[in-house]
Amino acid sequence: MHADTRKYNAALAPASRAIAKVLAAEIERRLPDAENKVWHGHPVWFLDGNPIVGYSQLKDCVRLLFWSGQSFTTKGLAKEGSFKAAEARYVTVDDVKLRPLGQWLKEAREVQWDYKNLVKRKGGWSGWCKGVSGPASV
């Protein structure tokens, strides 16, 4: 885990720090080859330069965000934003359920919308999505 992520986690309130500790440990364990850094102020993990998963402190919870989560088959994530991201929110560490988290992290490796090149395409999708069979749609 990157030193900046450890610093981010250390600055959280105790309840949020406990959540971040579990999330970071599971992400590191299940995506060991992912690059981790603090990006736009929050810990994010990347595969081949593509943002995959990250978390952030919100006013009353910790939000776990999967950039391609709307295309996952495992239930439990809520749509976030206008692209393909989906989220889970946690108030206490007991809210973090390892079974769905593990499934989401597995799918995060397998299903990836091309966020890395989104800016280059000025917000337009190329239609590329690793792991989705058939024509990709937005």
pLDDT in tens, 58-113: 999 999 999 999 999 999 999 998 688 999 999 999 999 999 999 999 999 998 76
For residues 11 and 28, what is the distance between their CA atoms, to the nearest angstrom? 20
Residue 83 has, within 13 A of its CA and on its CB side, a CA count of 18
User: Taking residues 122-138, what's their average pLDDT?
Assistant: 47
Residues of the domain holding 87: 3-130
Q: Is residue 64 part of a domain?
A: yes
Enter the pTM of the model. 0.84
Taking a C-beta distance cutoff of 8 angstroms, is the pair 77, 84 a contact? no
Query: Token digits for 118?
Result: 């989104």
Determine the length of the chain: 138
Q: Which residues contact 100 (CB under 8 A, 6 or more apart)?
A: 74, 75, 76, 88
Looking at the structure of the chain, the number of domains it has is 1
pLDDT at 20 over 70: yes
Q: Is residue 137 part of a domain?
A: no
Q: How many CB atoms lie within 10 A of CB 128?
A: 11
Q: Is residue 14 part of a domain?
A: yes
Query: Token digits for 125?
Result: 């999708």
CATH of the domain at 29: 3.90.1150.200
Using a pLDDT cut of 70, give the percent of the chain over it.
80
